[in-house]
Structure 1
Amino acid sequence: MLNRSIALLALVGLSLCVPASAQSLISRYVAGEDYKVADSAGPSDNHGAVRVTEFFLYSCPHCFHFEPELNAWRKQHPDIAFHRVPVLFGPGSQPYARLYYTEVKLGVVDRLHDQIFDAIHEDGKPLSSEGQMRRFMVAHGVDGQRFDKVYQSPAVDQKVQAIAARMQRYPVMAVPSISVAGHYWTSGRLAGSNERMLKVVDYLIDRSRGAGAKTGG
């Protein structure tokens, strides 16, 4: 009886001393539950950095509330290649996609991306038409003629047309969603919350680096 008690105590002691690496294996996230695996990977053009892509929609309140959390997370991951893709959920989302790629072409996305979210969700300005978008951009220092030229440009057309294929690859059914290395994707709905989604993304980044997965997206 004494020997059995000693053996049980020894097992308890061992369980308390399990290294962090082994604990992470026990608590790791599960494919099909916390994240999914894409059928095909995207291009690998990020010079070795893991490509992380956020799928978002300007009119989505969940994306708006997620943005500060995402910005803080990005500051902790300066070594990733971060990208955004505006989703196409119905015809009303296409103008927002055009607006985003217009910002990119004009070189103002870092300055105005968050302000567009604020205008829509805090100031009550839907920015749902080209005219409304133009007035907003002009009010924030963008030349109106430059905006007109870029918003209706073939380059922006091409970017918007490419969105559907990228959404189909994962496929994106809700936003915000995030793909990692062009091979994995997860969402707040899939992970259980936006906060937990970022933890899943951390896991997938580490997994991609360890497995040498492609860094497309």
Structure 2
Amino acid sequence: MRFLRFAIVAASLVVTTAFASPSDPKQGAEYTVLPVPQPSQTAGKKVEVIEFFMYHCPYCHALEPVLEQWVKKEGDNIVFKRIHLPYQGPNDPEAHLFLTLQAMGKSEAYQAKILDAVGDIVRRKRSETLTEQELLGVAYGLPGIDKGRFMDTWNSFGVRTMLNRLPGIVSNNYKIDSTPTVVVDGKYVISPGQVAEATHTRDQQQLFQETLQVVGALVAKVQQSK
């Protein structure tokens, strides 16, 4: 499985950009639709929003503070989730770390710290392929982590089963091959790369804001249909 950075967009993608508007996004321009929508577990007017990311992805790192503010602002409008792309396949140690912390109920609490720590390792070794030992070192350095409980969860049947299923979920169900990518309500797919193609925005922070404008507009669209 090959993962692309958000700035790389297929040259064959044909979009109409003359009237591109993040606040009024158009299918095929600022977002696409999954051919087979995926079920979302929400109640009432809440809308599921999933960020597909990787700890070593520098754009995920840069997006995080903007995304965190946006999630807080949306509040009860959304149910926010994350899925880590298995960069190295079904035994990807980054995804393994995320699933372990998720099972412990601590993935969100440590998200920013891990992005910082992994980013430091990537810059130092000049490689995006991290080892299990490097990721375990990151985990053991997190405040409040009990090593015994962590390793029990890391080796648990539930975590290992989910890790093995992850490549199929990402590539077959959601058709995701780049990070960061956001999926709204199990069907609307948005990435900064596609928004950049539609709006021609090159400033990174402005692009992130525009991307979340598109996400917000689609959240509102789903709510209106409920």
TM-score, length basis structure 1: 0.77
What is the alpha-carbon root mean square deviation over aligned residues? 2.6
* Residue from 93, 96, 101 that aligns with 2:94: 96
State the alpha-carbon separation in 2 of the partners of residues 93 and 149 from structure 1: 17
Report the Cα offset of residue 77 of structure 1.
Answer: 0.6
Q: Is the 8 A contact 2:47 2:184 kept in 1?
A: yes
Bigger helix share: 1
Q: Which residue number in structure 2 is paired with residue 87 of structure 1?
A: 85
What is the 5 A alignment of 1:1-217? Answer: 28-48=24-44, 49-79=46-76, 80-91=78-89, 94-122=92-120, 128-140=130-142, 141-167=144-170, 168-192=172-196, 193-212=207-226
State the SS of the aligned residue for 1:77: helix
Q: Is the 8 A contact 2:90 2:166 kept in 1?
A: no
State the alpha-carbon separation in 2 of the partners of residues 133 and 174 from structure 1: 21
Report the Cα offset of residue 171 of structure 1.
Answer: 1.6
**Identity percentage of aligned residues:** 27
State the alpha-carbon separation in 2 of the partners of residues 101 and 146 from structure 1: 14
Q: Is the 8 A contact 2:86 2:95 kept in 1?
A: yes
Report the Cα offset of residue 92 of structure 1.
Answer: 9.4
Q: Judging changes above 3 Å, is the alpha-carbon distance between structure 1 residues 132 and 188 closer, same or farther for their aligned structure 2 residues? A: same
Q: Judging changes above 3 Å, is the alpha-carbon distance between structure 1 residues 42 and 91 closer, same or farther for their aligned structure 2 residues? A: closer
Report the Cα offset of residue 88 of structure 1.
Answer: 2.2
State the alpha-carbon separation in 2 of the partners of residues 177 and 33 from structure 1: 15
Amino acid corresponding to residue 105 of structure 1 in structure 2: A
**Gapped regions of structure 2 (runs ≥ 5):** 1-20, 197-206
Q: Judging changes above 3 Å, is the alpha-carbon distance between structure 1 residues 89 and 165 closer, same or farther for their aligned structure 2 residues? A: same
State the alpha-carbon separation in 2 of the partners of residues 139 and 145 from structure 1: 14
Amino acid corresponding to residue 28 of structure 2 in structure 1: G
**Gapped regions of structure 1 (runs ≥ 5):** 1-24, 213-217
TM-score, length basis structure 2: 0.75
State the alpha-carbon separation in 1 of the partners of residues 145 and 43 from structure 2: 32
Moved more, 183-192 or 116-125: 116-125
State the SS of the aligned residue for 1:166: helix
Q: Is the 8 A contact 1:35 1:186 kept in 2?
A: yes
Q: Is the 8 A contact 1:174 1:189 kept in 2?
A: no
